[in-house]
Chains A and B, each alone.
Chain A
Amino acid sequence: MSYKPIDFLDERLGTAKFTRKSLNKIFPDHWSFMLGEIAMYSFFILLGTGVFLTLFFVPSSAPTVYHGSYAPLDGHVMSQAYASTLNLSFNVRAGLVMRQMHHWAANVFVAAIVVHLLRVFFTGAFRKPREINWLVGSLLLMLAILEGFLGYSLPDDLISGTGIRIAYSITLSVPVVGSYLASFLFGGQFPGDKIIPRFYTIHILLIPAIMAGLLGAHLAIMWHQKHTQYKGRGRTEKNVVGIAFWPAYAMQAGGFFFLTASVIAALGGLVQINPIWMYGPYIPYKVSYAVQPDWYMGWLDGALRLFPSWEIVGFGHMIPTIFFPAVLLPGITFGLLMAWPWIERRFTKDSQSHNLLENPRDNPWRTSIGVGVMAFYMVLFFASSTDVLANTFNLTLNFVLWAFRILVFVIPPIAAFVAYQLAKEARSVPLAGTPRKAMVIFRSPGGEYTTEESEPRSELVLKHSVFHGEEPLPLPEEARIHGQEVQTPVLEEERFVFSAPSAVAVVSEEIGERPSGGSGVYRIPRGAPGAGGGLFSPRGPRPASDGEDSEDEE
């Protein structure tokens, strides 16, 4: 069989070789590997809805008098940014659902990144050879938070305007260059008329472009290195066991995109987020109580609330108090985050490559440090709503603040200690990590009880799908690589020869062994049971002679 486009592309780009390999790529199958996908799909939804919003949003601080359909603001002077956001919410068809989807997607995006990061951290997936991807992912998290803050600021409503005011003060607090930075960023004294257009450019162009690039790199590196996998039956450091990209994984992942979109659409249409019309336009002398940033900035806001009023003054200079919680803390946070793979390596002295993931209980130290750090940021996060908590639980504000100032030091060590003990405990349980067996209790007619072990649970799980085999099995014949190119540059002293295509040796199946260091081959299982036949002939209960299987193949 031959398809025109395939021939067209292959003759010009040689794509068939690579794409075939990709189609047959194996992906380990586990729910915790879907977290990054949620983030990626949210990013796509952000791009799509974001493009829609740019068609209606006017990034300008120029004042305008509003005479739109939202009566409570009729006749108000406001920035064009705010007025256009009102119009896009009330007068553009499907505008509000798009805007709310954009905002919900942003909230889900950062949340998914964080949970994905936690999964990677606690399972040790960042270890060699994946440190680079850890860096890329950390950068993505940083940019996502920044991007979220910028987008939140764009509508120029009362709440977000107050946030920009705080951002100005934070910029101002940087030692030595702060006042210059602030003046350059805002084009002079706060508020000026430049910050909204500038935030807009950064929000819709600069950061998304960088993020798209980094996301591409993140995926490409993952693709190239192959995914990590949990320990389990037939899984080694040297193989990948899972479902094939084409069609099972592609369908599951593709379908998951639509599921992500559907959840975000349901939130976007049914649950109100950031009703800027209720907040009114930003006017510098107005302020609302209970101003909080979006959740992913909460830890910074919490730190701002908790940090004591220490200001360092001396030699005619000042380090403002907010420098410590708002500049130093994020600096340390992301610095340590990115350095973690190397920090850990200093202690473990482990220079091995790892493709098998660790169960968090098998590394109590890492787990307890992770839990402790997580607890620290959770406390800061909750501290960002001291006023709301005080109001909700009828406590005094003063009490809540002091409680958090103490808890931020008390909770993390306790959490870390508990995590360490739990991990140790779990590890000491006999047979921990092996497939569990249920004890089935039988009652005889005479009233006697006997117990019997059931089948291991893993096998029960496998029976979930009729197409799921029990032992890892090799790919079908055609999916294996029969020949493999070896590109050994022929090198001679001082003179170099490009290895011309004709020089590419084709190692045929007869060679059997792969040459050391060459690119990998699919294991050739001679006489493997159930192998052979059509595309991905199912294993297990299906009959081996599956000639009628051709329905799927058109």
Chain B
Amino acid sequence: MSSSTPELKQSQDKERLIKVSERRFERVVGVSFLLSFLATVGLGVVYWQGGQTQVEGALLFIALGGLGFGIVSWGKYLVPQGPYVQEREELQSPESEREAFVESLERGANQIQRRSFLVKMLGAAVGAFGIITLFPFIRSLGPQPKKMLYVTNWKKGSALVKADGTKVRATDLEVGGVLTVFPDGHPGGAISQTILIRPSFQDIVTKPGRETWGPQGYLAYSKVCTHAGCPVGLYQELTQQLLCPCHQSLFDVMTGANPVFGPAPRPLPQLPLYIDSQGYLRAQAGYDEPIGPGFWERGA
């Protein structure tokens, strides 16, 4: 090599810079790994001492983060990055190969199809097997719906009970009161759940034909929203409206729970009530229509 030309000097400078830079990155990576190691040890200690979620999270963050930061830095700053170039392989096979493939396929198919009766038999056997074995995966799962969606546990004369099973008296609610009730014998039922509201002390007629349904100001509606089935448990006392917490359908209590806002398509079914001789609230009959969201078989 010739003596110091400016070029050589420059390249020596560069090399020195690289060396310094490399050493720096080595240190960064090393510190990262060390931190990760310490955090992992700390994690072990915390765990051994009974664990603490926040400390575990923080130490995991350092342990994993140190590892990740170190490895990435190493892979980014201490190994060559190229960029390298590589040719893409042709994805497509040559024409001849594709033709040959089709030929092979056809040859095999011809050999099979020669026995066409057997092919049909095979098809029948496999098809039947496929259909029949599908049944356990569908039909065994549950009963046919039948009348399931049309009935609730409310019957003629069902006493209204609270979730704990105690019967509801006509004196239990004040004006502006609200209570979730169930048919006697089925407290807590998902389908029969009914919301009992008392907007007044006077009998309430919500719609023509429902003259006797609201004795002493008691109104009972199915608590299952006609939109998506959420419990309509949100009673706004001043405006006498029921709001569904899921999708904000609004029902007007005094006019038969007609939907006045939001996505619900139908009013909440109303339960006809009466007060028996001992002062308990009872249902005159079950709901006169299916409760809850719509389904295909349901007419109107």
Chain A directly contacts chain B within the complex, with at least one CB pair under 8 Å: yes
On A, residues with C-beta under 8 Å from B are: 24-26, 29, 93-94, 96-97, 100, 129, 162, 165-166, 168-170, 172-180, 182-191, 194, 224-226, 234, 237-244, 247-252, 254-263, 265-270, 283-291, 301, 304-311, 313, 316-322, 326, 353, 355, 386-387, 397-398, 401, 465-469, 472-475, 488-489, 491, 494, 496, 516-523, 536-539, 541-543, 552
B264's partner among A309, A355, A494 (CB-CB below 8 A) is A309
Neighbouring B residues of A239 by C-beta, 8 Å? 85-88
Contact check, A166 vs B229: say whether CB atoms are below 8 A apart. yes
Chain A proximity mask over B235-270: 1 for CB below 8 Å, otherwise 0: 000000000011111000000000101111110000
**Is B211 an interface residue when CB atoms closer than 8 A count as contact?**
no
What residues on B are CB-neighbors of A265 within 8 Å? 57, 60-61, 64
Q: How far is the CA of A358 from the CA of B84 in the complex (A)?
A: 21
B295 CB within 8 Å of chain A: yes
Which residues of B (67-115) have their CB < 8 Å from a CB of A? Answer: 67-97, 100, 103-104, 107
Contact of B67 (CB < 8 Å), options: A26, A170, A258, A518: A258
Residue from B14, B56, B230 within 8 A of A541 (CB atoms):
B14
* Contact status B76-A190, CB under 8 Å: no
Residue of B nearest to A164 (CB): B229
Beta-carbon contact of B248 and A386 below 8 Å: yes
10 A-B pairs with CB atoms under 8 Å apart are A94-B56, A178-B295, A180-B144, A191-B190, A241-B83, A259-B68, A265-B61, A285-B180, A517-B97, A538-B80
Interface residues of B (CB under 8 A from A): 11, 14-15, 17-18, 21-22, 47, 50-51, 53-58, 60-65, 67-97, 100, 103-104, 107, 138-139, 141-145, 148-149, 163, 180, 182, 188-191, 193, 223, 227-231, 233-234, 245-249, 259, 261-266, 292-300
Q: Are B85 and A286 in contact (CB under 8 A)?
A: no
A258 touches B68 (CB 8 A): yes
Residues of A within 8 A of B261 (CB): 398, 401
Given contacts A188-B143, A290-B245, 5 further A-B contacts (CB under 8 A): A26-B85, A269-B54, A287-B231, A465-B77, A541-B15
A472 contact from B17, B85, B94, Cβ within 8 A: B85
B191 engages A318 (CB within 8 Å): no
The complex places the Cα of A466 from the Cα of B92 at a distance, in Å, of 39
A284 to B145, alpha carbons, bound, how many Å? 20
Q: Quick one: which of A244, A250, A321 contacts B263, CB cutoff 8 A?
A: A321
Do B233 and A287 touch (CB < 8 A)?
yes
In the complex, how many angstroms separate the beta carbon of A233 from the nearest chain B beta carbon?
9
Q: How far is the CA of A369 from the CA of B265 in the complex (A)?
A: 33
**Structural contact, B231 and A308, CB atoms closer than 8 A:** no
Check A255 against B69 for contact (C-beta < 8 Å).
yes
Contacts of A308 in B (CB 8 A): 263
A168: which B residues are within 8 A, CB to CB? 229
Chain A residues with Cβ below 8 Å from B233 are: 285-287
Given the known A-B contacts A238-B88, A240-B86, A465-B77, are A261 and B64 also in contact in the complex, defined by CB atoms under 8 Å? yes
Contact A226 B88 (CB under 8 A): yes
Complex alpha-carbon distance, A249 and B81, angstroms: 9
Q: How far is the CA of A252 from the CA of B72 in the complex (A)?
A: 4
Q: Which residues of B contact A162 (CB under 8 A)?
A: 230-231, 246
